[in-house]
Amino acid sequence: MGGGTLGSQRGALTVMGLLESLWRFFYPQGCMNGSGRRVVITGLGLVTPLGCNVSESWSRLCAGQSGIDRIKRFDASGLPVQIAGEVKDFDPSAVIDRRELKRLDLFSQYALVSADQAVSDAGGEAALMDPERIAVIIGVGFGGIGTVEDGVREFYETGMKRPSVFFIPRLIANIAPAHVAMRFGIQGENFAVMSACASGGHAVGEAFRRIRGGFQDAALAGGTEAPITPLTVAGFAAMRALSTRNDEPRRASRPFDRERDGFVLAEGGGMLFMETLERALARGARIYAEIVGYGANDDAYHLTAPAPEGRGAAECMRRALADARVDPTEVGYINAHGTSTPLNDESETRAIKAVFGAHAYRLAVSSTKSMIGHTLGAAGAIEAVFTALTLYHGLLPPTINYETADPQCDLDYVPNQARRAAVRVALSNAFGFGGANCCLVFRRHTADSGAGRAEECRC
């Protein structure tokens, strides 16, 4: 019996050796263990409740402005929650032909517009060389939920039994990366990531792994979401997950504050153009930051609540730091998941203290959701953009509406005002329903001079 087992093991090893040889033959630039190439960010794109591009969003973020207001897209007067982080003055016509708009749910429009910004920012056509070696990976939470609601309403209320031919192509999650790939002729890996509020972070992390491992040379990665619909708002309200500060919307999202009462639903898109350091240097691209680590795991505890003591989140951060080969004391800033819910903020604080020990009180932590709300599947990507900008400009975004200290949340949350700080290493956390956890590690790029970079921030 033992001999048979040994023979099976030898056979398995032979097969694995053969598979690895075949892999190396067909994919000479990648290997099963990864080639450890350095990955940098050279292009950014944003559509948020603070602005429809990176400059507007970042400047208003640094100024501590809120993009949260009463819902204007539909009549929310009959709902218990009537506030959200809606994107304002969004005009996709410069990027999307008006005839094409009817084929695109809003979540795909946000993806296309933010991707167009990121490609342009990265150098346009120069960034898109060897398109078969570029991936498109986009995190999505709901997909075309607006299309679903409208379609169901028409189907049952008007007697219309033949939905639009665009109904299915508008709502499926992977249609967003598909449209992005078609727009730019990108022929590498293409898929959507769906892990609730960790989706955008996971998309960036998976792109990072593929570039570092040699399977792709570049990627457009990020997240997109358009969940502000009557049914979605009502659904989250029924879970008592949302803030009910309808009369003071700009003060509703208050992460880590003792009076927090829930998150504020929001929408938008964030995209990053990522590539190998060698590729970026060869074409003289501007580098915002380097991605050096990625951690992902699951609490396996509860459908919506975080694991006690932040156990899963802590392990996720440890994995990301180990992947980056970064000592916890090197970290100077964490862009927290920071949803403004009682359980999440306390749990995340406990997780940070478990990982960083005494250093937790020396690093800065802030939640940009205090200003834009919670964009669900797009959150991890939008916050990855903000984290890259934090390193690039040397400026920490604040946590606004921090007024009353919570004894259970006792870290430095950069309260109410942005702060200058030459941070070298930063983390970005994203956690989702179902226990999904994601942590990204960024390092300030110092190969070229950063002198004067802060002057570019108009805040």
Mind telling me the catalytic residues?
Answer: 197, 337, 374
* CB-based contacts of 231, cutoff 8 Å, min separation 6: 145, 149
* Strands 425-432 and 83-84, sheet pairing: unpaired
Nearest one of 259, 255, 261, 230 to 431, comparing CA atoms: 255
Rounded Cα–Cα distance for residues 35 and 41 (Å): 18
* Strands 218-225 and 134-140, sheet pairing: parallel
Nearest 10 degrees: Cα torsion 377, 393, 292, 380: -10
Cα-atom radius of gyration of the chain, to the nearest Å? Answer: 22
Q: Other CB atoms closer than 10 Å to residue 439's CB: what's the count?
A: 33
Cα→Cα distances 370→189, 295, 399, Å:
34, 24, 6
Task: Quickly count helices (H) and strands (E) in the chain.
Answer: 14, 14
Structure tokens at 326: 């970064």
Rounded Cα–Cα distance for residues 338 and 262 (Å): 11
